[in-house]
Structure 1
Amino acid sequence: MGLALFLLFIVLPLIELAVIIQVGSLIGVLPTFAIMVLSALIGSWLCKREGLGVLRRINASLDAGRVPTTELADGALIVLAGCMMITPGFVTDLAGILLLLPPVRALVRKVVVARSRRRIDRAVAGAGPAGFTFIRMGDVSGFGGQPFDPFGGGGRPRRSDGDVIDADSWEDPVAHDGFGQLPGPR
């Protein structure tokens, strides 16, 4: 994780700066600036178009009664592409534009889902005394060799010995007429 942050915040800006200087020395400062602005505008337009398409697909999935997992992943990748397009530079603009293309996005989505699935298979979140901790899948038994049950119910339904009050609303015990006066007898 530390290496990834180092690459993201130190190495990538240095690469961007070197590319901008090279392009600027080849074609001039104003054309370089114009290309960067134009690529950001084109990327913003593509991001909007693809984002609206993803929203339509999310709605269609929900209307069909399916969970829109693929569509949500596409939406997250489109947001990432938009962030890349906002960042000044040619390398991030190119990466953002590529990520907006559906075939490239599908490939990246497959890689991200596969990596996430491997990480989830290795660890399961559990509640511990210090908050949420990770329990390795090989260690899923609780105290005394019993299966891990975070709520202690053991599969039995809860039994209530007290009264159950089902209420949809409540009334203010001290009503007033809006002018600070209590209403008179009814």
Structure 2
Amino acid sequence: MFRRLMILFFIVPIVELSLIFLLAHWIGWGFTLLVTLLSSVIGAYLARRSWHRWWDQVKREWAFEGFPVHRLGEGAILVAAMAFLVTPGPLTAVTGILFTIPKVREAGSKWLVRWLSHRVVERWWWRS
């Protein structure tokens, strides 16, 4: 796991820089910086709006049904979206903006919960 994270931490910045240089070559440095800045600002707005909607939904479900565990995956994806949107670069901006879309977030949440539950069962349940 550590090796995969280290590879990811080396590959993502290289890809981001390559995309920035490619974008600057096509549209110029001024527009590249403007697009990067605008994507961060628009993404931060979308993330904040999505976060408030998600939190209102959690509070509503909590009042009627109890703690909505199934919404925790969506919250984790929104936190990741915010981290991606703070990071400058076209790849992370697109990924962060995609994570703010409710349908993408729901699908990602289902996959995340399924993956985590399999990991927990494999590691702790079957060993005892």
Does the TM-score normalized on the shorter chain lie above 0.5?
Answer: yes
- How many residues in Structure 1 have an aligned counterpart in Structure 2? 128
- Deviation track 1:85-123 (CA, whole Å, cap 9, x = no partner) reads 010100000000111111111111111111111112123
Contact 2:73–2:112 (CA under 8 A) maintained in structure 1: no
Letter in 1 for 2:126: M
- Give the structure-2-normalised TM-score: 0.93
- In structure 2, the residue matched to 1:137 is 126
Question: Greater CA deviation, 98-107 or 70-79?
Answer: 70-79
Q: Which has the higher helix share?
A: 2
Structure 2 vs 1, CA of residues 31 and 138 (structure 1 numbering), >3 Å: closer, same or farther? closer
In the TM superposition, what is the alpha-carbon distance from 1:4 to its structure 2 partner? 2.3
Higher mean C-alpha displacement, 56-65 vs 31-40: 56-65
- Greater relative contact order, per chain length (Cα 8 Å cut-off, separation 6+): 2
What pairs with 1:77-92 in structure 2 (closer than 5 Å)?
77-92=77-92
1:5 equivalenced with 2:5 (yes/no) = yes
Residue 138 of structure 1, CA deviation = 5.0
**Aligned residues with identical type, % of pairs:** 28
The structure in which a higher percent of residues are strand is 1
TM-score by length of 1: 0.65
Kindly indicate whether residue 24 of structure 2 is the aligned counterpart of residue 24 of structure 1: yes
Partner of 2:107: 107
Q: Following TM superposition, where does structure 1 have runs of at least 4 consecutive aligned residues deviating by more than 6 angstroms?
A: none
User: What are the ranges of 5 or more consecutive residues in structure 1 without an aligned counterpart?
Assistant: 125-135, 140-186
Which of the two has higher C-alpha Rg? 1
AA partner of residue 137 (structure 1): W
